[in-house]
Structure 1
Amino acid sequence: MRNSHKMWKQIAQEAQALRDETLAEVGVNIQIPAQLSRNVTDIPDKVLSASSARITSLAPQEIITLASERKISAQEVVQAFLERAVIAQNLTNCLTELLPQRAISQAIELDGRLLDNSTSLGPLHGLPVSIKSHIGIANRPLSSGYCAPFHSRPHPDADALVVQILTRAGAIVHARTTEPQSMMQLECASNLYGVTTNPYSNILMSSGGSSGGEAALIALRGSVLGVGSDVGGSIRVPAAACGIYGLKPTSFRVPTTGWSSTPPGADPIVTVLGPMSVSLEGLEIFMRVMAAAEPWHIEPAIIPLSWRAVDITPSREKPLRLGILWHDEVVKPHPPITRALRELVDKLSNIPHVEVVNFPPYKHDEAWAIASSLYFTDGGEADLAVMAESGEPLLSLTEWIIKDNPGVKKLSRDELEYWLEEREEFRMEYSQHWNKTGVFNKALGAWENTVDAIICPVAPGVATKHNTAKYWTYTAVWNLLDYPALAFPVGKVDKTIDVKENRKRFMSHLDKESWKLYRPELFQDMPVGLQMVGRRFDDETVIAILKFLEQNI
């Protein structure tokens, strides 16, 4: 065991040394202040040059337009984002590596193309994009948050398909971001790279997980568009924790070929790739590019579905109907979340032809029982075996999800079939539950005027203290149902308003434990996020509704 113990530490040192080498290649001497406030989001603008600060403050489409029109060079853009990513790493530990040589080389090619024929490469021309590290990059390590694979797994020969599509559209991959051990944490800590922190509460709070590196980097604008993954909340929880946007698409809309996860179609609960961005527009740009590439011709599991134009123009005859899920009858949200929902409802009531109704939860405790039984159908044996290869210890939340979770056990064929049947029955029941928000038209034999989308919490609270994110159901239920879900920022915690009531009754023991975690002064000024949920393959509708609401609130 002693030799194995040394092995994982040696691998971690090797991984961190490689990361530090790539940061040094950026060739900039960044001086981070010795004394930092708890909120470090203002630091990058203070230490960057005025030019780099201006470039990295731009929205994704602004960067694309300026680079395509030769008003700014792609090389200038890349250099600015590489410099800002170095700062983000120093503040939050969000990177596994930078790709300066690749990024600058591609930027030079893009600039040369414009000089030759004045035509941009594609709809993402010159836009730096960051990538969660279990998504393959040619000739780079692939570890999935574990130590052993970093050392023993062959480097991929080619980029993952999603990266190829982004690159062909003109995007420049400049950064790879951290992910947790096992990939099954709503926080972001590994033995390989350590803990990724939240830029709004440096050291104290988690950035969320498992796409926590992406969220922290984007919150500090070391990137404005990135790619994360989600099987139980791993895009939405970090997006909400760090005050950015994140979309968990319907499964099989974004290709996954070339990642270090299960093959397409093999997950009982499907893991999806999806965009994270500083803006809602960034999410839509990403999804349009994916659909336009027609990846179903390469990855057969992908649904051959183009990105559709959705017009949200409510009228008296056809109002926009939104359902509010205030809580899931298992764990009550903390005061900042409930306030955010209440304030949003008040604002929605002032928009003509928008109707808001209560959306009652439906068996969300059962949803977690099904999902948690299908996350590790081998009882976690494969994950434990990977950790045993290097002797790395189980981190707190890895042990909780694999060993302390009563739903995790090795399933026989009959047991697996049982839980798959439960999954399908739950999906059918939830669809009927959604239908009942409308009226059944007997003449047509169909439900009419059902809610167009649900707005609900992303989690019981905002960003969590490290090692405390143990309630997944507000996000995992939508993975089980395979509904698209979009996390979006709505404000900040205000300790003078979001006071903690002295509750005497609780909905469950989980509710009681969650309530103990809330301390208004601890979470002061932390971002507050909500999520909008649509029915399966209504990804376009979810984005269009939120765009309409943001334009009219």
Structure 2
Amino acid sequence: MVIGVVWRDGVTEPLPVRRVLEDTVGTLKAKGIEVVYVDAKSFKDCQGLANKFFNVEGGNYTLDILEKTGEPLIPWLATRLKRKKPATVDRLRDLQAQKTQLQDSFLEIWKTADGRSIDAFICPVAPHPVPPIDRWNGVSYTVSFVILDYPAAVIPVRSVTEEDLEEDIDMEVLGAWDKVNRELWNKKTIDRNAYLGSPLSIQVFGPRLQERKLWDAMVVIESTIKGSASTAKL
């Protein structure tokens, strides 16, 4: 079995989530599972296109319901969700064409350099641990697979430890989303102890329309990282 790894999506740099991904890769290799690394810079295109799809109906349906019930928007959404003019049919056609082109371009990630098939990928679920209420930041690590129409699921690995809280990031800020993401780990803007004990997980995604293959890969990955003697194979 061959498992691919996406370390980052080019939009937000993972915080201690990267550590749990590194631990998982090490465990898989120790058990004889082949792991290959993939340059997934084009995941940035997934985020950009997803943002366009988010606004196709202008947010009006949701806001209509909220106004009827009197329920206010949470602060995180209050500055982001505004009424807009719905997209035209021509606009929707163009977005669907962009989506198809993006899906076609991603077909190449499913082959190794020597032409073998990659069975599934692992990557972060989010670029940060579970944050305090209303502080969630990036969705690029999940929305990408909605746009690509890939089946994906999550495997909890372990909880945040004291050691995780000591990790710092000295890499260059990738952009606006990453800048906000760093604030969720900046000791000046948040108490890192809020993350202690919260779950750290990995995300597993598989080829389009192959949910069973994803499930089989998850059985192998989960049993391996949890020390099972399972010999399940794809």
Q: Same fold (TM over 0.5)?
A: yes
Which of residues 37, 54, 78 is equivalent to 1:358? 37
* Cα displacement (A) at 1:548: 2.0
Alignment check: 8 A CA contact 1:322 1:454 kept = yes
Runs of 4+ in 1 over 6 A off after TM superposition: none
- Hey, what does 1:429 align to over in structure 2? 105
Distance 1:329 1:489, change over 3 A: same
Corresponding letter in the other structure for 1:494? T
Alignment check: 8 A CA contact 2:121 2:205 kept = yes
Q: Deviations over 1:401-426 (max 9, x none)?
A: 4239xxx7521222111111111111
Which of residues 205, 213, 217 is equivalent to 1:541? 213
- Hey, what does 2:76 align to over in structure 1? 397
TM-score with structure 1 setting the length: 0.38
Work out whether 1:474 is the aligned partner of 2:153: no
* Cα displacement (A) at 1:343: 0.7
User: Distance between the aligned counterparts of 1:545 and 1:502, measured in 2?
Assistant: 31
Which of residues 517, 520, 523 is equivalent to 2:192? 520
Alignment check: 8 A CA contact 2:137 2:180 kept = no
User: Distance between the aligned counterparts of 2:167 and 2:182, measured in 1?
Assistant: 9
User: Distance between the aligned counterparts of 1:551 and 1:458, measured in 2?
Assistant: 19
Q: What pairs with 1:287-306 in structure 2 (closer than 5 Å)?
A: none
Work out whether 1:322 is the aligned partner of 2:3: yes
Q: Deviations over 1:328-369 (max 9, x none)?
A: 11111112x1110111111111113x2111122142222122
Work out whether 1:386 is the aligned partner of 2:35: no
SS where residue 107 of structure 2 aligns? helix
Alignment check: 8 A CA contact 2:132 2:194 kept = no
TM-score with structure 2 setting the length: 0.85
Where do 5+ consecutive residues of structure 2 fail to align? 186-190, 228-234
- Hey, what does 2:14 align to over in structure 1? 333
Identity across matched positions, percent: 24
- Hey, what does 1:231 align to over in structure 2? none
- Hey, what does 1:487 align to over in structure 2? 154
Where do 5+ consecutive residues of structure 1 fail to align? 1-319, 440-447
User: Distance between the aligned counterparts of 1:321 and 1:504, measured in 2?
Assistant: 29
- Hey, what does 1:417 align to over in structure 2? 93
User: Distance between the aligned counterparts of 1:488 and 1:400, measured in 2?
Assistant: 32
Alignment check: 8 A CA contact 1:322 1:451 kept = yes
* Cα displacement (A) at 1:497: 3.8
Q: Deviations over 1:212-233 (max 9, x none)?
A: xxxxxxxxxxxxxxxxxxxxxx
CA RMSD of the aligned region, Å? 2.1
User: Distance between the aligned counterparts of 2:20 and 2:169, measured in 1?
Assistant: 20
- Hey, what does 1:451 align to over in structure 2? 118
Corresponding letter in the other structure for 2:112? T
Corresponding letter in the other structure for 1:452? D
Corresponding letter in the other structure for 2:122? I
- Bigger relative contact order (CA 8 A; separation at least 6): 2
- Hey, what does 1:108 align to over in structure 2? none
